[in-house]
Amino acid sequence: MTLNEHDRTIIMDSIRDIHDFPKPGIVFKDITTLLSDKNAYGVLMKHLHDRYSSYNLTHIAGIDARGFIFGAALAQMLGVGFIPIRKKGKLPYTTVSEKYSLEYGVDEVEVHIDAFSNVENPQVLLIDDLIATGGTAYAAASLINKVGATCVEACFIMGLDFLDGQKKLSEVVPVYTVIGVD
């Protein structure tokens, strides 16, 4: 199930472009205006609910921090658990981590070692607001599988189609972007 044109327009019209942020030449897609628009946010969340209600998910995993906004709400709507995937050092219990490359270095994400231990054969949807180069998402999907769950799909509200992140990530998990941006 994909987004229809009417609903796509509602969502896109609610997202603000910020030029030259965080540096000159970048057009930042600001989702805070989507979140504050109850109609647009409702359209988005209904779409996500309708898309994933037949997936037999046990959990939604959201990537720190904007993935928490969509993931926790969707988990509640679907009646499944929510698992945070955080930057290194932010989770209080024993964790498993996965490193990924940045333009100038390496970063790391973590999940609790027992995040999915409350169910047999955990089926997990990974969610975040945006996929660009895909490094963080690739690491997060790997983490989910590393701790004994199955990442069944990775979902992003927006995908930067002119970058290779979606292609790279689709090598390990199916990828769905609600809205592609050229």
Chain mean pLDDT for the chain:
96
What are the catalytic residues? 66, 103
Q: How far is CA 37 from the centre of its chain?
A: 20
pLDDT digits (tens, 9 = 90+) for 67-109: 999 999 999 999 999 999 999 999 999 999 999 987 778 999 9
Is residue 111 within 8 Å of residue 144, measured between CB atoms? Answer: yes
Q: How far is CA 10 from the centre of its chain?
A: 20
d(CA 109, CA 114): 15
- CATH code for position 106: 3.40.50.2020
Is residue 81 within 8 Å of residue 75, measured between CB atoms? Answer: yes
Q: What is the pTM of this model?
A: 0.96
Domain of 149 in residue numbering reads as 5-181
The helix, strand and coil proportions of the chain, stated in percent and rounded to the nearest 5, come to 30, 35, 35
d(CA 64, CA 133): 16
Supply the pLDDT for residue 105: 84
The tally of domains found in the chain comes to 1
pLDDT digits (tens, 9 = 90+) for 142-170: 999 999 999 999 999 999 999 999 999 99
User: Residues near 7 by Cβ (< 8 Å), separated by ≥ 6?
Assistant: 43, 47
